[in-house]
Each structure stands twice: as C-alpha cells, then as structure tokens.
Amino acid sequence: MSVLIPAPAAADPSGLTADDVARLRADTPGCLTRHHFNNAGSALPPQVVVDTMVDHLRREAEIGGYEAHAEAQDRLDAVYASLGALVGSGPEGISLTTSATDAWLRGFLSVPLERGDRILVAQAEYASNVLAVMSAARRVGATVEAVPDDATGVLDVDALRSMLDERVRVVAVSHAPSQNGLLNPAQAIGAALREVAPQAWYVLDACQSVGQVPLDAAAIGADFLSATGRKFLRGPRGSGFLWSSARAQTLEPALLDLDSATWTSVDDYVVQPGAKRFESWEKSYAAMLGMGAAADYALALGLGVTQRRISWLADRIRLALAGLPGVVVRDRGMVRTGIVTFSVEGQDAADVVRRIKERGVNVSHSPREYAVRDFDAQGVSGLVRVSPHVYTDDTDLEALIAAVSAAIA
C-alpha cells in the first residue's frame, strides 16, 4: 500500500473478503477505466442493471413500447416490493418516479398550505428542496424557518421541539446532506413531531441514504420519504421513488394524470387509492426495471454490509486527507456517511476538482448555491466531495490521494 494511505486502524468491519470485493469490482465494468469517487452524484451500476435496461429497450424496439411494458408487468410489479424492502416496508407505500426531486415534489406539493403556516427546514437542506419550499410559501403567504444545528453539526432536535407549534405545517429534512458527511437523527425528528406537533407533515429526503444505510420508514415516522436510483443505490439516472405513509395517502396530489386518477364524468374524477396516486403514467420502464435490479443487488449484498464498508472506507479517506498540507476535512456529525468533503486553503474547490479529474479520478464539486445556509455558516464557498462505495479498493484510495496531492501542490 502507498505510504500516502494510512494503514486502517481496524479490519474492514463489513465482513467482505478480498475475493468478495474482487467479485463486486468484476460486476462493475466502470472499475476498469476510472477511480470512481462520485457515488453521491451517480454511482457505477453493476452489470445486471445495465443488462436489465438494455434487454427491455431491445424488447421495445422489437415489439413496441406498450407491448414490452405489458410483457414486463409482473417484473415491474416486483420492483415495488424490492424498493419497499429498502425502506423497511411492503410494496403498498411505493410510488415510482423519475428522480428524487420528482418524488420529493410530489410529496411536498400535496400538502395543503395556507397563509400563516410555518415550514421548518434543516440548516443543511438542499437547494432543490428549499427553492420549492420558498416558492410555495411565497404563493400562499407561509413562512420558512431553518432549524439550527447542534454542537455536533446535526439538526438540533431540542431546538426543533422549541420551534414546534400548531402553525407548523411541514418539516423538511435531508437525512444525509450531500455536502457535510453527517446523518441527521431522522427517527428522533419524527418522534418529536408526533409528540409535539402531530398535525405537521414530515418530508424526509433520503436520496443519499437509500442504498447505503438500512432504513425503516415507519419507525422514522416520516409522511414522505423520497429517493433516487442513481446515487448509492447504483441504479440508472432518470429513476426515483417515493414512500408515503397511510396518512399521506389520504392527500390529493398536486399533480394528477390518467394513471393517478380516473375521469369518471364530465366534471368529476376519482383519485387512485394508495400510493399509486403519486405516480404519473409516462416514465422510462427500462429505468424502472433497472432501479429494481439495483435494489435487488443491494438487498442481496445486505445494507448493513454496505453501510459498514462504505463508512470504513470514508473514515480512511478522511484520515488520509487530513494529513495533506492545506487540506481541511469539513465533515460533521457523530454518525457519518460515505460522503467526504474538504476544502484546500487558498484554492478554489472547482479548480481542485478539475485537476483531480484530469488524473482519472472522479470526484465532484459542491458549490455554495447547493446549500446556502450551510455553506455560509461554515464560511466556505465550495467543497470537494469524495464518495466511495463497496467496490472501492486500495488501488482506488491510492489513486485518489495521489491525485489530491498533485492537485494541491
């Protein structure tokens, strides 16, 4: 191992052997050409995901899109069960969507807002969510307030409790923010809401935790939980899903089409029962099948195994980065995810990312506009983001640290 990579303080706690990791890499064609540390952006899919999608697209070309859809209906139905298992539920709470943002909006926009309502968001909430919240609040005259972080950097549940009252309509939180490595206390947030403000709707963005962390949506107490296929789940872009509680499935969605509702008379319609009401008819069925294949792959490996290996790799990366001159690791929280962020003293993060990528290592840039409150609170304008996955090995780690060292020299 390169001297740039500190020896691990402990063995890989996931239980995966070197042969297991080799098999994971053999399942992942992208490992042959790049050192991929952008899994928080878009992970490398296993071959089964690619094959599943290509096979369906070929079938569409052979017999037609509607016909291929009908032929694959049983397999599409199974996708709901696979995604439900990822969040500790059955298929009945799952809606298929085209992205995490699509899923999140279908949940949030279904909550009726009125003038004077309060919407609480996490300090580290992501731009796509906050922009939608601000827009909705402006339309009706609601207010948007940020819940402060505690001393460790996660959402302060005690502060949240003090802010809750009968006017709080929505609490929106990112479970694993994309720019600071922490895991927010989702279950404690849900417990506080049910105890102090049971009328409030809890919308949890789980796009960075689904696929890398075991989840139990019912235990969390969320009304809506949104996710994407393309990040740690290792599914395709253009895929996502929404889990909704039984209570949420009584809401009338803001968006309806002939799949989520039935036109019953000239001036009336009936909304579909259950989670189906949050879907729309047109989507890439190849992508939905690919997302299902990714979910099955993740479940077969085990989400606990995945979380332990990713966390172990991320901690090794943090330790190695902290030893480089001028590098400041910015991650917070007592429980951390596979998202590692850092800045370099006196250097622009976007320039550092560009120089690292020129050396065949995929990392990503997180600019201030992705999470303005969080970035301003930390006094940074941009961060380099590194995110390993189960198929990451020591050759990848060596390439990463060598590339960072060269980029900041």
How do residues 199-237 score in pLDDT, each as one tens digit?
999 999 999 999 999 999 999 999 999 999 999 999 999
So what's the pLDDT on residue 8?
Answer: 74
Residue matched to tokens 């009936």: 270
pTM attached to this predicted model: 0.95
Nearest to 301 by CA among 10, 7, 6, 14: 14
Q: Is 165 exposed, middle or buried (0-12, 13-18, 19+ CB in 10 A)?
A: exposed
Domains and CATH numbers, the chain: 18-44+303-408 (3.90.1150.10), 50-300 (3.40.640.10)
Residue 328 near residue 341, CB atoms below 8 Å: no
- Pairing assessment for the beta strands 94-97 and 364-367 based on DSSP bridges: unpaired
Residue 164 near residue 155, CB atoms below 8 Å: no
Half-sphere exposure of 303 (CA within 13 A, CB side): 21
So what's the pLDDT on residue 85?
Answer: 98
So what's the pLDDT on residue 273?
Answer: 95
The Cα–Cα gap between 251 and 260 comes to: 12
Half-sphere exposure of 244 (CA within 13 A, CB side): 29
Mean pLDDT of residues grouped by 10 in the chain (409 residues)?
62 96 97 96 98 98 98 98 97 97 98 98 96 98 98 97 98 96 97 98 98 97 98 98 98 95 97 96 97 98 98 97 96 95 97 98 97 94 98 97 96
Measured CA to CA in angstroms, residue 63 lies from 58, 73, 387 at distances of 9, 15, 40
So what's the pLDDT on residue 10?
Answer: 81
Q: Distance between alpha carbon 14 and the CA centroid of its chain, in Å?
A: 21
Write out the DSSP string of 50-112. Answer: HHHHHHHHHHHHHH-HHHHHHHTHHHHHHHHHHHHHHTTS-GGGEEEESSHHHHHHHHHTTS-
pLDDT in tens, 327-380: 999 999 999 999 999 999 999 999 999 999 999 999 999 999 999 999 999 999
So what's the pLDDT on residue 6?
Answer: 65
Measured CA to CA in angstroms, residue 329 lies from 21, 342, 344, 389, 402 at distances of 27, 4, 9, 19, 17
